[in-house]
Structures are given as structure tokens and as C-alpha cells.
Amino acid sequence: MSRSIENIVILTGAGISAESGIDTFRDAGGLWEQHRVEDVATPEGFARDPELVQRFYDMRRAAVQEVEPNPAHHALARLEREFPGELLLVTQNVDDLHERAGASPLHMHGELLSALCAICEARHRWTGTLIEGPPCPACAAKALRPDVVWFGEMPYQMDRIYRALASCDLFVSIGTSGAVYPAAGFVQEAKGHGAQTLELNLEPSEGSHWFDESRHGRAGELVPEWVGEVLTT
Ligand code: BJW
């Protein structure tokens, strides 16, 4: 990376949490914890079999509370604290490992530790289960669902993200396959506005050719190394 950097947008995906023990989505033959994506991550799947979907997310909500942030999460939290310019950390992940490392990410695909009321649209911090159909604390409807963005639904805060992509001078993508839109298109968006682009991933992602620079390896090693470079230049 050459010229001086004042405004960074970082996008993270499942790869940054892999070394904490959370499975990525597309590395295990297209199955998530033995389920087909269309059964557990679409509004149609939820309408067809709400119990299956609630049980799936209850299990993942419990599991995420058993794992810890890794050196990549800690390095980004350090960057957020110490970088003197503007920085927006956008994550596709629904875990809370960035927060537990001390960062403040924008969760574009929602959060496991949150429940969304399908009636009043209130969002509530939720660490327990939803399978038993508890009432919404705001409106009392028994219509709470996982607060995650399924295929066909609109990710959160897209206006804010596109504004940041239009004004950043560096876009960095970490641990994401580049298979899911709109996040997969962020690199082109940032490039179109003149930003430098960097990919940190275990292997070349689907959109690897769009990046000015790609570094391949484990996030737990690449991210602390890159953060060290940014903070010393
Ligand atoms: C490591 C590592 C280590 C491993 N270190 N790296 C045709 C064309 C274009 C778009 C569409 C289309 N047909 C349909 C669409 C739209 C659709 C879509 O993209 N579909 C694709 C399948 C093509 N998208 C949507 O529906 C989205 N909404 C939408 O588009 O609304 C309209 C809109 C229009 C315009 C603007 C804005 C909006 C919604 C997408 C919702 C995605 N939801 C999920 C589930 C969330 C809840 C849950 O977790 O259960 O989000 S799907 C899943 O994929 C999850 C992830 O956030 C997301 C991305 O996955 P990610 O993070 O990239 O993980 P992996 O596993 O794919 O990759 C991990 C990477 O890490 C790998 O590369 C590894 O190598 C690497 N790695 N270990 C470093 N140690």
C-alpha cells in the first residue's frame, strides 16, 4: 500500500472467526452444521419449518457464547483504538467476537445474540433460546425470530456502508469468500471511488482479481501483521 491512508473500511467474514472455533459457511461442502442453506437461512425455510430453524439458531447462539476472540479480532480492536483517521468495521458475521475484543462493528447480516420481532420489528438482546416462542418484550406477540439477515432480505445499514465506501481511501476484506452479495461487490464499489484495496484470506476469494493486493494465510497471523504496518507508517 503506497500513499498515506486516512479513511479505512474493513469488511470481515467467517474466516476471521475460524481460528476461534466457529465453522465457516462454504468450507464444508455447502452444508451448515448438516443443514441445507435454503432450509435454515431463507424466509421460505423459516415459514416451512420454524422449529427446525429456531433449533438451529438456538444451538448456534449457545455455541457462540463458548468461544473467544482470536488475535485477528484483537488486532482490529487495537486498530480501531489507535488509528488516527476514520475507520468503519463492517462484519458479515453474526457472532459477537469483534465486540468482545473491544471493537464496535456494524453487523450487516444481524446478530446471533439478538431477537427480532416479526410484528413490531423491535430488536432485543437475546442470549437464551427462542424455540419455546417467548413473547416480544415490546409488544408481547409470540413472533420472535433470529435477528439475522437471510437470503432475499435486505442487509442492515446499507446506506451508511455505501457512504463509507465512497469516501474511504483503503478497503480491506478479511476472511470472506466473496460469494454473497451485496458484500461481495464492496471491493468494486470502493475501487470505483478511487480506494486502494487489500484482501487478507486463507486462499484467493471469488473476487480476488478485483483487489490491488492479496495476502493469503491465516487471519490470526495476517491481520496483526497488517495492523502493525498501518500503525507504524
Ligand atoms: C479464512 C480462514 C482463516 C477460512 N483465516 N481466512 C445472483 C447474483 C448476485 C446476487 C444474488 C444472486 N442471486 C441472489 C442474490 C442475492 C443474495 C446472494 O448473494 N446470493 C448468492 C448465493 C449469489 N444475497 C442476498 O439475498 C442478500 N440480500 C440482498 O441481496 O438484498 C438485496 C440488496 C440489493 C442491493 C443492495 C443491497 C441489498 C442477503 C444475504 C444474506 C446472507 N446471510 C448469511 C446468513 C446469515 C445468518 C447466519 O449466519 O445464519 O450470511 S449467508 C452466509 O454467507 C452468512 C455470511 O455472512 C455470508 C458470507 O459468508 P462468508 O463470511 O464469506 O463465509 P464463507 O464460508 O463463504 O467464506 C469464508 C472464507 O474464509 C473462505 O474464503 C475461507 O478460505 C476463509 N478462511 N479460514 C483467513 N483462518
92 CA from centroid of ligand 1 (Å): 7
Q: Is the CB of 116 under 6 A from ligand 1?
A: no
The whole-number pLDDT of residue 29 equals 57
160 — pLDDT class (breaks 50, 70, 90)? very high
83 — pLDDT class (breaks 50, 70, 90)? very high
The whole-number pLDDT of residue 34 equals 78
User: 151 — alpha (psi -120 to 50), left (phi > 0) or beta?
Assistant: beta
Half-sphere exposure for 34 (CA within 13 Å, toward CB): 5
Q: Is the CB of 75 under 6 A from ligand 1?
A: no
Residue 28 has pLDDT above 90, yes or no: no
Residue 100 has pLDDT above 80, yes or no: yes
CB 94 within 8 A of CB 24: no
Residue 31 has pLDDT above 70, yes or no: no
The whole-number pLDDT of residue 30 equals 53
The whole-number pLDDT of residue 47 equals 97
The whole-number pLDDT of residue 35 equals 85
What contacts 34, CB < 8 A, 6 or more positions away?
none
Q: Is the CB of 47 under 6 A from ligand 1?
A: no
User: Average of pLDDT values for 189-213?
Assistant: 97
Backbone angles phi, psi at 35, to 5 degrees: -115, 150
Share of the chain above pLDDT 90, in %: 91
Active site residues: 109
3 CA from centroid of ligand 1 (Å): 31
Question: Is residue 203 classed as helix, strand or coil in its secondary structure?
Answer: coil
Residue 8 has pLDDT above 70, yes or no: yes
Residue nearest to atom 2 of ligand 1 (CA): 15
159 — pLDDT class (breaks 50, 70, 90)? very high
233 — pLDDT class (breaks 50, 70, 90)? confident
pLDDT averaged over every residue in the chain? 95
Question: Is residue 125 classed as helix, strand or coil in its secondary structure?
Answer: strand
Find residue 148's DSSP bridge partners.
110
Predicted TM-score of the model (pTM): 0.97
Q: Is the CB of 92 under 6 A from ligand 1?
A: yes
